Structure 1
């Protein structure tokens, strides 16, 4: 693994940390507003946070593009940027809403376990597009699933309405990860993230006005969790995801990001003073082992190097 891949892996680890702590913010925020309202406001904030950075770097980017690219290439990249942002934003919106509604009908532990099934869905979906994974990656997936089971499942596993909703959420999160893997190398990552958030905010905003009754008082009452979810989880977290996935196998990326389940347990331990059982500790150990195993280079890669 080269320095570039190590840096991106660390960015995804930071992303998982931010998302793990966001489970606390998400849980608290839902005490004041509905799923559509929470997702709409946090997504719009996430997009707004990125605008200053885009404006500051736009001149340098334009000068670079003028020197190295033709006008047709610039138009093509803009179309790819808009398409990628819209597709990723739609997938993110659908996944987040299914997760939000699913949590209302199932336990948080089961929701976390089922959501993390994207670490299985991503490599399986990758096979359909000709991607191959080494044995170490598949062993890492198996370890991660076992770790998530010990970490999250504390009662008999059976599917209810909420479980089905969260499983659909995992499918769409897998779609979002694959879309990011496809578009990120072709466009400006921060701009695509910005478009993604505004698309997600618009789509969830439509649902907010149709099925909910948003009140400014309720939104202001939940300002702390909303700002954390909007600025850090959305604006910073998903942008780091897009940047960090560049040059990484999407299966490895999904394994690293699945550490948000471990971080969420630690966040509950520290912020909510929840106890960590021996079973949950074993789950954390298995999850970290899965990440390390998935990062090990294959023999073929060593030979080529």
Structure 2
């Protein structure tokens, strides 16, 4: 496989993850109609962990190209990722109780700005074209998600805290995915995030078998697709992707969350929204053009 085809495959994996995450905002909101935010998070992450767990030893079919890689220190790495993931996803989940799906998509997507700033703070410079793509993506997210008369809701502050943690998580995934077996790393972080969320739910939230049954569809969507598939695509893809480039691709989840809100919840996009989506497409194309002219990360 040529370097350009590997780059394209990596970008398509990250874009698929972003599409799933964006559509999951609706499931996350609907799941809390009958159960609490921590119970929803715990259930879906433990379901995702159970889905990926068989891959700890066995890599069937196309996954045979990712043979089991024994590495020291994978448990501490999985613990760190799981703790950050637990904090980030629950800030997002609780924040959804106090803001709209579109606002949550925009504020979460601000990691597209935070990631290159963090990289700069740690001495890793991003090229000018990356900063231009970051600016276009952030502007597109704003036009797509935020209405001109929108105020700041209580849940927006939680989403902002989550955006910072998503940026940290994204950078850590890039570091650890190059050192450890990616699929084992995925199982560990899902299990940690799920168990911690379930522990908080047992402490703080009412539990009901009937309520869980009513939320089963939203849990299945969030667990199988968002966790089991999309987060696993993230750790596999980020073995070869620079964090700032990955953030630009992942920020397209704002487009997909707006489209899901439009399709399933009656949200209106209008000319402003479609213009924002177009800006984000331009940002991704610009980031892709730059990456085609750079050596791969190993």
Structure 2 distance, partners of 1:7, 1:301, is: 16
Cα deviation for residue 78 of structure 1 reads 3.4
Cα deviation for residue 124 of structure 1 reads 0.4
Change (3 A) 1:32 1:187: same
Match of 1:113 in 2: 106
1:200-215 equivalence runs, <5 A: 200-215=193-208
Which sits farther off after the overlay, 271-280 or 133-142?
271-280
Q: CA RMSD in A?
A: 2.1
Structure number with the higher helix fraction is 1
Which one of the candidate residues 249, 274, 290 is aligned to 1:297? Answer: 290
Structure 2 distance, partners of 1:297, 1:134, is: 9
1:90-109 equivalence runs, <5 A: 90-109=83-102
Match of 2:271 in 1: 278
Structure 2 distance, partners of 1:189, 1:211, is: 33
Match of 1:25 in 2: 27
Change (3 A) 1:208 1:64: closer
Deviations 1:239-291 (A, max 9, x none): 00111111111111011111111011222333345443111100110011111
Matched, 1:266 2:268: no
Q: How many residues end up aligned between the 2 structures?
A: 289
Structure 1 distance, partners of 2:236, 2:34, is: 33
Structure 2 distance, partners of 1:8, 1:295, is: 11
Structure 2 distance, partners of 1:160, 1:267, is: 21
Structure 1 distance, partners of 2:47, 2:291, is: 41
Change (3 A) 1:195 1:300: closer
Cα deviation for residue 153 of structure 1 reads 0.4
Q: Give TM-score, length-normalised by structure 1.
A: 0.89
Cα deviation for residue 4 of structure 1 reads 1.6
Match of 2:18 in 1: 16
Cα deviation for residue 162 of structure 1 reads 1.9
Structure 1 distance, partners of 2:11, 2:100, is: 30
Structure 2 distance, partners of 1:89, 1:183, is: 12
Structure 2 distance, partners of 1:29, 1:301, is: 42
1:110-259 equivalence runs, <5 A: 110-156=103-149, 158-259=151-252
Cα deviation for residue 112 of structure 1 reads 1.9
Structure 2 distance, partners of 1:189, 1:131, is: 23
Contact 2:68 2:181 in 1 (8 A): no
Change (3 A) 1:300 1:277: closer
Cα deviation for residue 298 of structure 1 reads 7.1
Change (3 A) 1:23 1:301: closer
Question: Which ranges in structure 2 are unaligned for 5 or more consecutive residues?
Answer: none
Structure 2 distance, partners of 1:266, 1:108, is: 11
Which one of the candidate residues 72, 81, 91 is aligned to 1:78? Answer: 72
* DSSP 3-state at the match of 1:297: helix
Contact 1:29 1:38 in 2 (8 A): yes
Match of 2:42 in 1: 40
Contact 1:109 1:154 in 2 (8 A): no
Larger radius of gyration: 1
Contact 2:109 2:253 in 1 (8 A): no
Cα deviation for residue 158 of structure 1 reads 4.4
Q: Give TM-score, length-normalised by structure 2.
A: 0.91
Match of 1:2 in 2: 4
